[in-house]
Amino acid sequence: MSQLAEIGVDALRSTMEGPVLLPGDEGYDEARRVWNAEHVRQPAVIARVRSAADVQAAVRYAVAGGLEIAVRGGAHHTSGMASVDGGLMIDLSLLNQVSVDPVVRRARVGGGALLGDLDAAAQEHGLAVPAGIVSHTGVGGLTLGGGMGLLTRMHGLSLDNVESVRIVTADGSLRRAAADENADLFWAVRGAGGNFGVVTEFEFRLHEAGPIVQYGLMFWEDGATMLRHAREVIPALPREVNVVIACVNAPPAPFVPAEHHFKPGYGLVVVGFGSAEQHAEAVEALRGSSPPLFEFSTPMPYVAVQRLLDEANAWGTYHYEKGSYLETLSDGAIDVITEHFPRRTSPSSVLMAYHLDQGYLETADDATAFGGRRTECYALFAIATTPTLEGLAAERAWVRSVWDALQPHSTNIGSYVNGLIESDEARLRATYGAKYDRLAEVKRKYDPDNVFHRNQNIKPAPVGS
């Protein structure tokens, strides 16, 4: 396949502005890397695109040559699907421009931009888009599947804030998808986007946020007591206050007493976008009658908060994850969390949960293809991280044991797509529900041959169905 791919590669180079790399070329090994070090793949060709026209040329080249396509944005998905053995990788990392219009509060974002690029550009004007909490995550992959973060309580998911996209579909066409143009495609890309093409540009609505927010970290050894109290308090907090539940080892940060560095425990990350007084009231309410082992609160730039987990999620480590939706933090779910968290073998592995309400509920369930119901719930993630490949097997088993034990306490709405590593049609049908068949029809229209299948794949509906 590699030899076949090299046939005509000079023609591809002549039609592209960006570089085209083959194995052995300078820059090839760096370009093929993905965040999860478990996945080391060797594409036959890497097209480092600089424009939508480059993406069109790369797609047409791959389709004509029968090459499997992988699309690399931030390369952050745990599955490693951003790369491919023997096929064509479309590397979007050079397509990372962000332009902001603060008057109409819109941002145009290249398909290869990272969250840090978007955060920095928008924060120059005191604006932001709801996004994830690791700044070297790709905007594209995160948004096309959902996009949960610190602003979700206020303004919903990343995909809820998309106004339009420009996308190269399987026939090499560049299309605009929005409410007023290719509306079926616009609906589908907001939740199952990787199935329909390569998004070269997003247009986002922006919201006032920062530049300074209120940051707090509270940390307990007794997880059961804290979680039972937190489940009563978190839903009642003002929408300007977002809380992330984090079962982690205490960081060796200056604000953590030295005797607690690296100690495993149960944390609440409390981020306030309102007043300092409002944040302090929230912290007091969360403290309850069981004082934390330590706590820390301070005003902090929003862009700094968005980078706090970057080092803990650095490139070159090994990962696996699974997630569940919980209707509530029931006593049974809390028992599972507190029983299983101490069983991990890597101190870098974590359990994290978002409470989804407020802004998350304000987009109608059928308005987008998002693979989750718009009902109040918790999204919980078990994430394995190890510094070596040898340690990954035990942590993968730990993640699966947590997930299995949580199933009796989980909803029946499948999994969050961005955290879905192993996906078959049954799991995807559970995740998308009644939306699945509609997505399959859209897939048949825009990608009947399933060219874009290195994703949580929606197969095209059969002709005549």
Question: Tens digits of per-residue pLDDT, 35-75?
Answer: 999 999 999 999 999 999 999 999 999 999 999 999 999 99
Residues 356 and 377: beta-carbon distance below 8 Å:
yes
Which of these CATH numbers, 3.40.190.10, 3.30.465.10, 1.10.3720.10, 3.40.50.150, describes 98-209+440-446? 3.30.465.10
Residue 2 binned pLDDT confidence (cut-offs 50, 70, 90): very low
- Best CA proximity match to 110, nearest among 375, 172, 100: 100
Give the rounded distance of the alpha carbon of 385 from its chain centre.
16
Among 282-296, 305-319, 370-384, 410-424, which stretch is predicted with the lowest mean pLDDT? Answer: 410-424
The predicted pLDDT at position 449 comes to: 97
- Best CA proximity match to 49, nearest among 174, 188, 203, 189: 174
Q: Is the pTM of this model over 0.85?
A: yes
Residue for token pair 């047409």: 60
Over residues 159-186, the mean pLDDT reads 98
Over residues 236-248, the mean pLDDT reads 97
The predicted pLDDT at position 463 comes to: 80
Rounded percentage of the chain residues whose pLDDT exceeds 90: 90
User: Radius of gyration (Cα) for the chain, nearest Å?
Assistant: 22
The predicted pLDDT at position 461 comes to: 94
Record the tokens describing residue 251, joined without a space.
């960081």
The predicted pLDDT at position 426 comes to: 86
Q: Which tens digit of pLDDT belongs to each residue from 252-265?
A: 888 888 999 999 99
Q: Rounded to whole angstroms, how far apart are CA atoms 419 and 372?
A: 12
Q: Rounded to whole angstroms, how far apart are CA atoms 224 and 331?
A: 9
* Burial label, 103 (beta-carbon count in 10 A; 0-12, 13-18, 19+): exposed
Which carries the bigger pLDDT value, residue 253 or residue 388? 388
Among 185-189, 254-258, 409-413, which stretch is predicted with the lowest mean pLDDT? Answer: 409-413
Which letter does DSSP use for residue 114 in this model?
B
Report the CATH number of the 212-419 domain.
Answer: 3.40.462.20
Q: Which tens digit of pLDDT belongs to each residue from 325-366?
A: 999 999 999 999 999 999 999 999 999 999 999 999 999 999
Q: Rounded to whole angstroms, how far apart are CA atoms 450 and 438?
A: 16
Please state the domain extents for the chain. 2-91, 98-209+440-446, 212-419
Q: Rounded to whole angstroms, how far apart are CA atoms 135 and 183?
A: 30
The predicted pLDDT at position 290 comes to: 84
Residue 278 binned pLDDT confidence (cut-offs 50, 70, 90): very high
65-66-68 Cα angle (round to 5)? 120
Measured CA to CA in angstroms, residue 259 lies from 249, 256, 281, 348 at distances of 12, 8, 28, 18
Q: Rounded to whole angstroms, how far apart are CA atoms 446 and 196?
A: 6
The predicted pLDDT at position 465 comes to: 65
Over residues 95-115, the mean pLDDT reads 98
Question: Is the pLDDT confidence value at 419 over 90?
Answer: no
Q: Do domains 2-91 and 212-419 have the same CATH topology?
A: no
The predicted pLDDT at position 196 comes to: 98
Torsion over CA of 253, 286, 324 and 304, rounded to 10 degrees? -40
Among 20-29, 420-429, 450-459, which stretch is predicted with the lowest mean pLDDT? Answer: 420-429
Fold of 2-91: 3.30.43
